[in-house]
Amino acid sequence: MSRVAVVTGGTRGIGAAISLALKNAGYQVAANYAGNDEAAKAFHEETGIPVFKWDVSDYSACTEGLARVAAEIGPVDVLVNNAGITRDTMFHKMTPQQWHDVINTNLTGLFNMTHQVWTGMRERSFGRIVNISSINGQKGQMGQVNYSAAKAGDLGFTKALAQEGAAKNITVNAICPGYIGTEMVLAVPEKVLNERIIPQIPVGRLGEPQEIARCVVFLVSDDAGFITGSTLSANGGQLFV
């Protein structure tokens, strides 16, 4: 039986590329999404990957969603915590709502999802967790105090949980993408993107979602069993850590 993988935010952007790459690598993939039914339907029709709608910032919605995945596909062996949102604004203009929305999805979402598959992974003595953090969790980014804090939190989560999973053959790793050519990045004002961001990327271009997806496929493979608690940076040379 092939392994079961859940990808949150798995129908668009980096997540869609991850879902597809895992399917092509032989996994049974369930792609979660929160809101965009049209994109999810199109993704499903194009790839044949089943899609499941729930909000990762809601613990009980995760319980119900994962129960559906278990019933329809099987217990989860691989979890890719990819779902993420931005509410970019300068800190002096940031509302409590913009803070909480980003923390609840991008950081608490990792707890809500991982906590529910963890016991099963421990019982079966196998698991792979990959958390999609960000270069902006490593370096901080103006206009993203909320997002940078959440993404830095994802790295602490990864390192702590990796220590708990190691004896049970569960690896927990993070990937820090740089600026990838997705809707999220293309929503940045064009002038900022072209004049402030792209010139800071030594390879001279945005990354491609597939370049992150290939990192995930490696980290969840049996070949990567000795890698846990690590942070894999894929950012075109923008930041060396």
- The site map against ligand CAA for 183-202 (x = CB under 6 A) is -xx--xx--x---xx-----
> CA 203 from chain center: how many Å?
23
Binder among 147, 172, 209, 233 for ligand CAA (CB under 6 A): 147
Question: Rule CB under 6 A: is residue 13 a binding residue for ligand CAA?
Answer: no
What's the closest the beta carbon of residue 138 comes to ligand CAA, in angstroms?
10
98 lines the binding site for ligand CAA (CB under 6 A): no
Is residue 134 near ligand CAA by the rule CB under 6 A?
yes
CA distance 154 to 160: 10
Minimum distance of ligand CAA from residue 221's CB (angstroms): 24
Angle at Cα 78 formed by Cα 75 and Cα 83, nearest 5°?
A: 110
Identified binder of ligand CAA from the candidate list 89, 98, 108, 210, rule CB under 6 A: 89
Q: Is 27 a catalytic residue?
A: no
Helix (H) or strand (E) holding 15: helix 13-24
b/e map 111-150, b = 16+ CB within 10 Å: bbbbebbbeebbeeebbbbbbbbbbbbbeebebbbbbbbb
Residue among 132, 142, 162 at smallest CA distance from 224: 162
CB of 71 to ligand CAA, least distance (A): 33
Binding site for ligand CAA (CB under 6 A): 86, 88-90, 134-136, 141-144, 147, 179, 184-185, 188-189, 192, 196-197
* Residues known to be catalytic: 147
